Amino acid sequence: MANIDFGGVTEEVITSEEFSLDKARDVLKNETVAVLGYGVQGPGQALNMKDNGINVIVGQREGGESWNRAVADGFVPGETLFPIEEAAKKGTLIQFLLSDAGQVATWPKIKECLNKGDALYFSHGFGVVYKDQTGIIPPENVDVILVAPKGSGRTVRTNFLAGSGINSSFAVHQDFTGRAKERTLATGIAIGSGYLFSTTFEKEVYSDLTGERGVLMGCLAGVMEAQYNVLRKHGHSPSEAFNETVEELTQSLIRLVAENGMDWMFGNCSTTAQRGALDWSPKFRDAVVPVFDDLYESVLSGKETKRVLDVNSAPDYREKLQAELDIIKNSEMWKAGAAVRALRPENR
Ligand SMILES: NC(=O)c1ccc[n+]([C@@H]2O[C@H](COP(=O)([O-])OP(=O)(O)OC[C@H]3O[C@@H](n4cnc5c(N)ncnc54)[C@H](O)[C@@H]3O)[C@@H](O)[C@H]2O)c1
Ligand SMILES: CC(C)(O)[C@@H](O)C(=O)O
Ligand SMILES: [Mg+2]
Ligand SMILES: [Mg+2]
C-alpha cells in the first residue's frame, strides 16, 4: 500500500510492485476463476489471467459469436469453456462479466450456483448498488468484491500485450471469508492492472456512469459534433472540419495531455492558441455545469439505470443499438473521419 499525494489529497494505492504477480498467483493458487460473459471485459480479463498462470474457465451462452470467439482464443469446450451456469458452479471466484442487463436476467440462476466461501466479483457497482431495480442481492456466505478497470476491455488486453497495464479501482462490499481484500487485490493484479485505487461500489458506479455519459464518451461526441457542424455551416470542407475537430486531437494534442498534463499541451501550442484556450475554457466549463449537474442527479436517482435496463433488456436491443451506431458511422463527419484515417502515412 503506497500513500500517494493526488494534488494535495493523500490516497492509498496498490501497485504491481507492492502486490506482485507472484503474490497474486499464490493467493489465487487454489481458486478456479470463472469468467461469466465473453463480450468486451470478459476476453480482456480472462486472457490476461490465463497468460499470468491463473486457473481460468469461461462461462458463455453456447454456440453464439462470443462462444466461438472464446474457442478461437484457446478456451476448450468441456475443459475451460462451459455454459454459464456450469462455469458458475465450477468456479470459486466468479467474475460476473455479462452485460449489466444480462446480469439482471441471469441472476436468479447464478445465485443458485454459488457455494459458501465463493467470491462473487463485479467490474461495476451497478447490480449491487441499484438492487431495487436489479434484484441482485448476494447471499451472506460469499465474498462480494469489485475490480473495475478504468478503460475498455479491449485496452485491458492491448495494454497487457504491450507490457503496460490499466488502472483499476477496487472495493469490498462483503467479506465473508476474511480473505475478500486479498482475493480482490490478487485478481486486480492478475487481470493486468498497473495499479489499483480504493473505492466503494457506490462511488464506482456513480463516477463510472457519469464519466462515460460525460467527458469520456457522451460529452466528447456531442462537443465534437457541435464544432464540426459550426465549421461546416461556415463553409469549411469536411476534411478541414474533421482535422480541426478530431484528428488533431487524437493524433497530436491529447497525446501531449496524456504525457504531461493540460498545461504541457497548452505550453506546446502557440501563444495565440494558449490565449484563446485560456479565455474560452471557462466559458465552456460554465456552459456545461448545469448539464453535468443534471447528469449526476440522473445517475444518483437511478434514472440512468432504469433507462439502461429498459432498453438493453429488449430482445432486439443489439439490432437497435447497431442501427444507432450505424447512423454515426454513416454521417458525413465520421465518413470524413474514415477518409482522414486512411490518409495517415502508416495507413496508406
Ligand atoms: N466494456 C467495457 O470495457 C467495460 C469496462 C469496465 C467495466 N465494464 C463492466 O463489465 C461488465 C461486462 O461488460 P461488457 O461490456 O464486457 O459486457 P457485454 O455487453 O460485452 O456483454 C458480455 C456478455 O454478456 C452476454 N449476455 C448479455 N445478456 C445476456 C443474457 N441475458 N444471458 C446470457 N448472457 C448474456 C453476452 O453474450 C456477452 O458475451 C459490466 O458490468 C460493465 O459495466 C465494462
Ligand atoms: C470503458 C468504460 C466507458 O470506462 C466502461 O465504464 C464501460 O462501461 O464500458
Ligand atoms: Mg461503464
Ligand atoms: Mg468505466
User: Cα(118) to centroid of ligand 1, in Å?
Assistant: 21
Residue 175 has pLDDT above 80, yes or no: yes
Instruction: Summarize the confidence of residues 323-338 as an average pLDDT.
Output: 98
ipTM of the complex: 0.98
| pLDDT at position 180 | 98
| pLDDT at position 1 | 77
Instruction: Summarize the confidence of residues 83-90 as an average pLDDT.
Output: 98
Query: 249: Cβ below 6 Å to ligand 1?
Result: no
pLDDT in tens, 180-200: 999 999 999 999 999 999 999
| pLDDT at position 16 | 87
Residue 298 phi, psi (nearest 5): -65, -35
Assigned CATH for 211-347: 1.10.1040.10
The protein residue with its alpha carbon nearest to ligand 2, atom 7, reads 152
Which residues are 54's β-sheet partners?
none
User: Cα(203) to centroid of ligand 1, in Å?
Assistant: 20
Ligand nearest to the CA of 106: 1
Q: Cβ distance 145 to 40 under 8 Å?
A: no
Query: For a substitution probing ligand 2, which of 152, 159, 299 has the most ligand atoms within 8 Å of its CB?
Result: 152
User: Cα(208) to centroid of ligand 2, in Å?
Assistant: 7
| pLDDT at position 54 | 98
Question: Helices 303-312 and 271-300 meet at what angle, rounded to 10?
Answer: 80
User: Cα(208) to centroid of ligand 3, in Å?
Assistant: 5
Task: In whole angstroms, give the CA distance from residue 166 to residue 159.
Answer: 7
The protein residue with its alpha carbon nearest to ligand 2, atom 1, reads 152
| pLDDT at position 183 | 98
Neighbours of 173 (CB within 10 A): 19
Q: How far is CA 313 from CA 49, 102, 111, 327, in A?
A: 30, 8, 19, 22
Ligand nearest to the CA of 209: 3
Q: Is 5 annotated as a binding residue?
A: no
Question: In which order are the strands placed within the sheet that holds 119-122?
Answer: 2-6, 9-15, 193-198, 166-174, 143-149, 119-122, 93-96, 33-36, 56-59, 81-82
Ligand nearest to the CA of 125: 1
Instruction: Summarize the confidence of residues 101-115 as an average pLDDT.
Output: 98
Q: Percent of the chain having pLDDT more than 70?
A: 100
Q: Cβ distance 253 to 348 under 8 Å?
A: no
Query: For a substitution probing ligand 1, which of 45, 66, 82, 99 has the most ligand atoms within 8 Å of its CB?
Result: 99
- Length, in residues, of the chain: 348
Instruction: Summarize the confidence of residues 140-169 as an average pLDDT.
Output: 97
User: Cα(151) to centroid of ligand 4, in Å?
Assistant: 6
Query: 152: Cβ below 6 Å to ligand 1?
Result: yes
| pLDDT at position 46 | 98
Grid cell locating 129? 448498488
| pLDDT at position 300 | 98
Q: Is 270 annotated as a binding residue?
A: yes
Kindly list the catalytic residues.
Answer: 124
Assigned CATH for 2-199: 3.40.50.720
Residue 50 has pLDDT above 80, yes or no: yes
Q: Cβ distance 196 to 18 under 8 Å?
A: no
Residue-wise over 250-279: b if at least 16 C-beta within 10 A, else e? eeebeebeeeeeeeebbeeeeeeeeeeeee
Grid cell locating 96? 460476473
Task: In whole angstroms, give the CA distance from residue 233 to residue 213.
Answer: 27
Residue 334 per-residue DSSP state: H
Instruction: Summarize the confidence of residues 23-28 as an average pLDDT.
Output: 98
Give the number of the atom of ligand 2 that is nearest the alpha carbon of residue 149. Answer: 4
Q: Where are the domains of the chain?
A: 2-199, 211-347
Residue 227 has pLDDT above 90, yes or no: yes
Residue 53 has pLDDT above 90, yes or no: yes
Q: Backbone dihedral region of 135: left (phi > 0), alpha (psi from -120 to 50 degrees) or beta?
A: left
Average pLDDT in the chain: 97
Query: 147: Cβ below 6 Å to ligand 1?
Result: no
Which residues are 71's β-sheet partners?
none
